[in-house]
Amino acid sequence: MSLNLPAGVQINAPLHPRFDEIFTYDALALVAKLHRAFEGRRQELLKARVARQARIDAGELPDFLPETQSIREGEWKIAPLPKALERRRTEITGPVERKMIINAYNSGADSYMTDFEDSNSPNWYNQIQGQVNLFDAIRREISYVNEVGKEYRLNDEIATLQIRPRGWHLDEKHVLVDGQRVSGGIFDFGLVFFHNAKEQIARGAGPFYYLPKMESHLEARLWNDIFVMAQNECGIPQGTIKATVLVETILATFEMEEILYELRDHSAGLNAGRWDYIFSCIKKFKKNKDFCLANRGAITMEVPFMRSYALHLVKVCHKRGAPAMGGMSALIPIKGDPEANEKALAGIRHDKTRDANDGFDGGWVAHPGLVPIAHEEFVKVLGDRPNQWDKQRDEVFTAKDFLNFQPEQPITEAGVRNNINVGIHYLGSWLAGNGCVPIHNLMEDAATAEIARSQVWQWVVSPKGKLDDGRKVTAELVKAMIPEELSKVKAAVSAQGEDTATYDQAAGIFETMSLSADYPEFLTLPLYEAMD
């Protein structure tokens, strides 16, 4: 298979069947143009992240920006939403895998966020086959036949598609422009937009996106400028693109209004991305001796810093005429155990009931079987209304509210072991090419592994990292537990009839990442470098 590549473009990876349909000359020319126009700014913003982290490590605490006070106090709203994004009570998420796409489209959810990022192991085949899968799905030409010959196709009624490209910190190492790696986000967005935007417009639902892991309004401005250029290049009216921002970093919380403002012509609101948010808090304050969170299971949406962040998001969105989307419930149905299944479903109901009553206009689930439950809880509050923007919250949140990191206890041996177990299990699956993994009756993605290794790292270095029985969490304690938990993981994986080949490597990576002297900012960065 040979390609006609634009000047300066290199692809250093195998070309599987149909990849040439994605790597057309004009599609790659758009990616190259976006790269040349914006890669310098991306690098500047990534350097700004490093500088900000250094200041936080030295004791600086985040607060609202004085230089953008006029935006927070101004009278403005985002542009009106298209009809396809007016009603989003239930959104389902999952990777750009063929069977998942069909099941999510057919789930009965209002919207489906398909993911090139955290729930997708970003090997070369997954990323480009994902582009092929979406090309087919958007044209209603997608099908899938499983190992026993059952065929899956799209229903007549399907969810509205939204697409999540990779975050600003991730590269696409297999594609170079003028000898430079392309941003993973620009690469994912540019290809899917070029091939599908006009088709989506003709069908009345798109092009719509989800934008992950931003830390400032300047990073949102970069996305907005990319949208403007892409629409111009493809002859699409300005403002056609709509994008929801995942507020999943502690720093973005202080700039929610500014982020909406930067994207106001292209905005579809904000989403409370809870799992990465917890990871962000640990990462940002890792050297603060006063910061130490309890077991992962104790950090619910009802603890102080999570509660204030969620309510502030609702307040900001409704003030600006924007959808406020609740985050993911990782619980999934449990087959063969009615009692445990009922407990899981009750957890989903509790989560969605709280979000609906707080003012969220919809929320996420990870499994098609949970769509009816989530939908029911939002309908109880919203009735037939598409949203509840009339619910204007009047709380005044300060930096103190967002930085009230409680609870600090309990930290238990079971909690340490759970982090090690889940981290190894997820990493082993990720290395094998699966980025969306059911573990202990929860649907986990990369954010889970990030929290797991980050908490272990912090419990080791923090003077507050003590178990409820008085023992200090130490590197020696963690090293002793890792082989024990690895054995449990391999037994569980084997019982499912799956290969355990990647799990020893996963355990080694988990140990390195959770016990290294210098905290690695993202687990996925060194892992991606070792991946095909």
pLDDT digit string (tens) for 78-120?
A: 999 999 999 999 999 999 999 999 999 999 999 999 999 988 8
Say yes or no to pLDDT of 445 above 90. no
- Give the pLDDT score at 532: 72
Q: Tokens 């409680």 label which residue?
A: 406
- Give the pLDDT score at 19: 98
Tokens standing for residue 252: 């973005």
Exposure letters 46-68 (e unless 16+ CB within 10 A, then b) = eeebeebbeebeeeeebebeeeb
pLDDT band at 328 (very low <50, low <70, confident <90, very high): confident
Give percent above pLDDT 90 in the chain: 83
Amino acid at 232: N
More confident residue, 319 or 495: 319
Say yes or no to pLDDT of 419 above 90. yes
- Give the pLDDT score at 146: 87
Q: Is 205 helix (H, G, I), strand (E, B) or coil?
A: coil
Tokens standing for residue 343: 């407990």
- Give the pLDDT score at 107: 95
- Stretch 243-271: mean pLDDT, rounded? 98
- Give the pLDDT score at 418: 96
DSSP H helical ranges for 171-240: 184-203, 217-234
pLDDT band at 380 (very low <50, low <70, confident <90, very high): very high
Tokens standing for residue 357: 């009553």
Please give the domain boundaries of the chain with CATH numbers for all domains.
10-400 (3.20.20.360), 409-530 (1.20.1220.12)
- Give the pLDDT score at 498: 87
- Stretch 396-420: mean pLDDT, rounded? 96
**Distance (Å, whole) CA 195 – CA 482:** 46
Ramachandran region, residue 18 (left: φ > 0; alpha: ψ -120 to 50; beta: rest):
left
More confident residue, 341 or 139: 139
Give percent above pLDDT 70 in the chain: 100
- Give the pLDDT score at 333: 81
Say yes or no to pLDDT of 440 above 90. no
- Give the pLDDT score at 525: 82
- Give the pLDDT score at 441: 76
Mean pLDDT in the chain?
Answer: 94
**Distance (Å, whole) CA 38 – CA 293:** 38
- Give the pLDDT score at 434: 84
Say yes or no to pLDDT of 330 above 80. no
Which residues are annotated as catalytic? Answer: 164, 445
